[in-house]
Amino acid sequence: MSTRLITGIGELVTNDPSVGDESALGLLADAAVLVEDGRVAWVGRAAHAPEADGVTDVEGAAMIPGFVDSHSHIVFAGDRAAEFEARMAGQPYAAGGIRSTVAATRRATTEALTERASALAAEARAQGTTTLEIKSGYGLTVDDERRQLEIARTITDEVTFLGAHVVPPEFADGPDAYVDLVVGEMLDACAPLARWIDVFCETGAFTPEQSRRVLTAGAERGLGVRVHAGQLGPGEGTRLAVEFDAASVDHCTYLADDDIAALAGSSTVATLLPGVEFSTRHPYPDARRLLDAGVTVALASDCNPGSSFTSSMPFCVAVAVRDMRMTPAEALWAATAGGAAALRRADVGRLTVGACANLVELSAPSYLHLAYRPGVPLVRRVWKDGTPPFVR
Ligand code: NIG
Ligand code: FE
């Protein structure tokens, strides 16, 4: 198997505190990374690098682990730009907007859905995302949910069944009958295609009791648990997530002191989605309160046509720094190692020996530029499992 040395790295973020400056980011100056068989085989000072079959010199650029975007809904059809325009003019965001995407997605061909999702995944990759979670939730029938998951599986292994996204219009008079379908025939069809189960536990979506039924049924089928909660108001979703040892509870815009205490004593990650608050004008989640309480925080895009139509993790990092008062180091960690924790993955989100060789070369001398130069396409090359498919 051939080896390649990536060298001339002016600043390397490893997310390994045992190397470099011993911070959480494990920063190393004048560094090199040896890649073998898609994995990191060695990390250290360039001056001490081993021989390799091939060499790539990045000439002083900063390199970071590929972003781990642990929350997206990119299998959909339609467009909700008019809804965004109305929000910017003062209209509130409501969970019901999801139903317009459900209608468009049901009407779309599988080819069109696949093409759109693949284009969005490529767009994310070009901005440094090397691990991407994708949810269903715009089908809401057995066949349409199965179809969304089948499409997601062509793009990623991190596939989430979100049949309990909202109650579809045909069940408006009997939401519990819809939950019966989700935990019955729909789960039978979807569990074999997914790694995770998710539920939107929120007023206007599913009650805590309904959410509990969904998560219990999913966990019994061997699916890992994730929860959407605290997006539109306070509720029981966060504590439910901790009770189920969810890998992650996502949004966390509204949290009570009890929720923070529960998260701090758990292995459930709080995943913050700054694109949502940016695009809905809701208040940003209080990242400092979570971090200061010792909660593990991740950042993700929540890429979807309603509440957050961005695939850009650099954008999320910049907003988290500017508007959520995360330090640049906390934000980058949350968008890489934090996302990996939210997916319970030890092989991504860090550059340690044995990890996937997922690296991003920045057109910048430091990762600080991700927040310092917002909106600028700083991602120059992306290595996924050791190969650079994307070059700007
Ligand atoms: O994560 N919160 C629920 N689901 C999505 C919104 C999807 C939509 O508006 O279409 C979210 O923000
Ligand atoms: Fe979401």
From the CA of 138, give the closest atom in ligand 1.
10
Strands 269-272, 297-299: pairing is parallel
Same domain? 141 vs 176:
yes
Same domain? 137 vs 247:
yes
- Three-state SS across 143-157? HHHHHHHHHHHCCCC
- pLDDT score of 49 more than 80: yes
Ligand 1 centroid to 380 CA: how many Å?
Answer: 30
The CATH number of residue 92's host domain is: 3.20.20.140
Same domain? 283 vs 267:
yes
**Ligand 1 atom 1: residue of nearest CA:** 302
For residue 20, report the phi and psi dihedrals to the nearest 5 degrees: 65, -130
Token pair for 294: 């010792």
| Nearest residue to 203 via CA among 234, 162, 182 | 234
Q: What is the pLDDT of residues 166-175, one digit of tens each?
A: 999 999 999 9
What is the mean predicted confidence (pLDDT) over 226-231?
Answer: 98
Same domain? 215 vs 320:
yes
Residue 168 pLDDT: 97
Q: Which domain holds residue 194?
A: 68-342
Q: What is the pLDDT of residues 279-333, one digit of tens each?
A: 999 999 999 999 999 999 999 999 999 999 999 999 999 999 999 999 999 999 9
- Pairwise CA distance, residues 374 & 365, whole Å: 15
Residue 22 pLDDT: 85
Same domain? 36 vs 153:
no
Residue 173 pLDDT: 96
Same domain? 238 vs 92:
yes
What is the mean predicted confidence (pLDDT) over 97-114?
Answer: 96
Please report, to the nearest 10 degrees, the dihedral formed by the alpha carbons of residues 199, 124, 271, 228 taken in order.
-10
pTM for this prediction: 0.98
For ligand 1, pick from 135, 279, 304, 310 the residue to mutate: most ligand atoms within 8 Å of CB: 304
Q: What is the mean pLDDT of the chain?
A: 97
From the CA of 202, give the closest atom in ligand 1.
2
Interior/surface letters 188-209, b for 16+ CB within 10 angstroms, e for the rest: ebbbebbbbbbbbbbeebbbee
Number of domains in the chain: 2
Q: What is the pLDDT of residues 234-259, one digit of tens each?
A: 999 999 999 999 999 999 999 999 99
Same domain? 354 vs 338:
no
Tell me if 101 CB under 6 Å of ligand 1: yes
Residues 6+ apart with CB under 8 A from 368: 328
From the CA of 308, give the closest atom in ligand 1.
12
Query: What residue type is assigned to position 14 of the chain?
Result: T
Same domain? 163 vs 229:
yes
* Radius of gyration for the alpha carbons in the chain, expressed in angstroms and rounded: 21
Q: How many CB atoms lie within 10 A of CB 50?
A: 11
Tell me if 306 CB under 6 Å of ligand 1: yes
The CATH number of residue 55's host domain is: 2.30.40.10
| Nearest residue to 328 via CA among 89, 23, 90 | 23
Same domain? 336 vs 231:
yes
Q: What is the pLDDT of residues 109-129, one digit of tens each?
A: 999 999 999 999 999 999 999
Residue 390 pLDDT: 66
Ligand sitting nearest the alpha carbon of 100: 1
Same domain? 142 vs 82:
yes
Same domain? 38 vs 152:
no
What is the mean predicted confidence (pLDDT) over 210-215?
Answer: 98
For ligand 1, pick from 166, 228, 251, 316 the residue to mutate: most ligand atoms within 8 Å of CB: 228
- pLDDT score of 391 more than 90: no
Same domain? 100 vs 116:
yes
